[in-house]
Amino acid sequence: MEKLVIEGGRPLSGTIRIQGAKNAALPILAACIMAEGTHRIQNVPDLLDIHVMLNILRSLGCQAELVDGTVTIDTAPMHSAHIPEHLMRQMRSSIFLMGPLLARFGEVHVYQPGGCAIGERKINLHLLGLEALGAEVQEQGNQIVCRSGGLIGNDIVLDFPSVGATENIMMAAARADGITMIHNAAREPEIQDLQNFLNAMGAEIYGAGTDTITVKGVKRLQPVTYSVIPDRIVTGTIMIAAAVTRGSVTLENTNPSHLTSAIHALRRAGVQITIDGDIMNVSCHTRPKAVERIVTSPHPAFPTDLQSQIMVLLSLADGLSIIKETIFEGRFKHVDELARMGADIRVDQTNAYIRGVPRLYGATVEATDLRAGAALVLAGLAARGITVVEQIHHIDRGYDRIEEMLGRLGANISRIDTAANAPVWGGGAADKLVSEA
Ligand code: UD1
């Protein structure tokens, strides 16, 4: 079982290039199956979730490989529209294949998806959207079967601007007969990236990034070469890492316009951020200030995927901050772990009240989900002493070798394999752990 061992207290410094966005790459890889032939998708991060998606695509008959950040995928040999249950359970994003499979085969067999334990995470909006396009949906126990004799464009109003449902409906509608309008659509940057990708393949989609998306169905799509946008959540995580360690980091290959609300929140906390095109410099040399209230909401508001990370910064701030989580009901699991490190946080339903402490202390903590795990790594970087983060497979779902990324910025962080009892990467912090034990 692998763990991260961190010796905190070193200010991060240096320059880092941000990886491609997992949440953009996953629907794009799913959408590849809508055009027969060979695609090349560039700037794809080397992550567990990406490998699960590639395994699912292979199980459907595609040939797919990830080499040096480029996925080459040949969708011509596809022979199945049945996603195996064990793969479906490994990753919620497997649900993205519903729209594309329905569009290509007129049929799809899936199971209730898995994913982070951050809340109920229903898929009713995905299914209602596909039904509105003419699919017949049958739920038999855990299995969901959708069939259609030909999808037909329609006007769809989402009850909530769900990212995944917006993407699934966009993909299915791209090859439907006629025009689809998606009202109350999600506006996340990953949806714009999916629109750009689908349009590069020959689709006719307008309005992604606004709350109304128009999809004019086309008969055929062509395979393409496409490069995925930078990961705004990894960008935000590194920005907060720079701030909590009172360091100074330059981030390259970013899109600051995707992070407007996070940048605003960090500046309110006293973090200095300068922006020059796609390069940002982030530094913080004094104790952060409390932020009266941060509310997570659909884009362009503060992203739920950065909530746990900014909580670490506010745990160290001068004064009382409040975070309200409105997207996922189970997204405060990192609070108990941060408390073990000395944080003073009280949770009342969807609100977290964070009274800043002068410092955190190293402890053994457990990553309960992807972003909670990232937050614990940030806490470990800021803390006095040694922090051990367990259950790091969650972190590997979204960060491409987080210890190497942070190690290059001067962090003392190692990955150890407790079964082999040896460092997998790094060694400094791990050696210290052994010598202190
Ligand atoms: C995506 C992101 C995830 C991010 C989330 C919110 C990917 C791969 N994942 O997840 O990192 O945290 O957006 O920004 O892009 N809901 C329903 N019914 C549905 C679908 C969603 O009630 O059919 C609810 C969910 O339970 C949740 C809220 O809507 O409370 C937001 O979910 P959604 O926007 O769909 O998130 P995901 O696409 O799952």
Q: Quick one: which atom of ligand 1 is closest to the CA of 299?
A: 14
Inform me whether the pLDDT recorded for 79 exceeds 70: yes
Number of alpha carbons in the 13 Å side-chain half-sphere of residue 400? 21
206 lines ligand 1 (CB under 6 A): no
Question: Three-class SS string for the chain?
Answer: CEEEEEECCCCCEEEEECCECHHHHHHHHHHHHHCCCEEEEECCCCCHHHHHHHHHHHHCCCEEEEECCEEEEECCCCCCCECCHHHHCCCHHHHHHHHHHHHHHCEEEEECCCCCCCCCCCCHHHHHHHHHCCCEEEEECCEEEEECCCCECCEEECCCCCHHHHHHHHHHHHCCECEEEEECCCCCHHHHHHHHHHHHCCCEEECECECEEEEECCCCCCCCEEECCECHHHHHHHHHHHHHCCCEEEEECCCHHHHHHHHHHHHHCCCEEEEECCEEEEECCCCCECCCCEEECCCCCECHHHHHHHHHHHHCCECEEEEECCCCCCCCCHHHHHHHCCCEEEEECCEEEEECCCCCECCEEECCCHHHHHHHHHHHHHCECEEEEECCHHHHCCCCCHHHHHHCCCCEEEEEECCCCEEEECCHHHHHHHHHC
319 lines ligand 1 (CB under 6 A): no
Cα 411 to ligand 1 centroid, rounded to whole Å: 32
Mean pLDDT (the chain, rounded): 93
Query: Do 2-19+230-436 and 22-227 come out as alike in CATH topology?
Result: yes
328 lines ligand 1 (CB under 6 A): yes
160 lines ligand 1 (CB under 6 A): yes
Could you read off the pLDDT of 353-384 as tens digits, one per residue?
A: 999 999 999 999 999 999 999 999 999 999 99
User: In the prediction, which pLDDT does 113 show?
Assistant: 73
Cα 373 to ligand 1 centroid, rounded to whole Å: 19
Could you read off the pLDDT of 414-427 as tens digits, one per residue?
A: 999 987 656 666 65
Which CATH code of 3.40.190.10, 3.30.70.2190, 3.65.10.10, 3.40.50.300 fits the domain covering 22-227?
3.65.10.10
Please, which residues bridge with residue 366 across strands?
390
Q: Exactly one of 32, 62, 116, 146 is catalytic; name it.
A: 116
User: In the prediction, which pLDDT does 117 show?
Assistant: 56
Residue nearest to atom 31 of ligand 1 (CA): 162
> Which pTM value belongs to this model?
0.94
Superfamily of domain 2-19+230-436: Enolpyruvate transferase domain (3.65.10.10)
Cα 97 to ligand 1 centroid, rounded to whole Å: 15
Cα 67 to ligand 1 centroid, rounded to whole Å: 29
116 is catalytic: yes
Cα 17 to ligand 1 centroid, rounded to whole Å: 27
Q: Give the residue-averaged pLDDT of 8-16.
A: 97
Residue among 29, 44, 47, 160 whose CB has most ligand 1 atoms within 8 A, to mutate: 160
User: In the prediction, which pLDDT does 329 show?
Assistant: 83
User: In the prediction, which pLDDT does 422 show?
Assistant: 62
How far apart are alpha carbons 264 and 361 in whole angstroms?
Answer: 28
Q: Find the range with the poorest average confidence among 6-15, 110-119, 343-352, 355-364.
A: 110-119
Cα 433 to ligand 1 centroid, rounded to whole Å: 39
Residue nearest to atom 8 of ligand 1 (CA): 23
Inform me whether the pLDDT recorded for 74 exceeds 70: yes
Q: Quick one: which atom of ligand 1 is closest to the CA of 127?
A: 23
User: In the prediction, which pLDDT does 435 show?
Assistant: 39
122 lines ligand 1 (CB under 6 A): yes
Query: Domain-by-domain residue ranges, the chain?
Result: 2-19+230-436, 22-227
Q: Find the range with the poorest average confidence among 96-110, 199-213, 263-277.
A: 96-110
How far apart are alpha carbons 306 and 114 in whole angstroms?
Answer: 21
Percent of the chain with pLDDT over 70: 94
Inform me whether the pLDDT recorded for 392 exceeds 90: yes
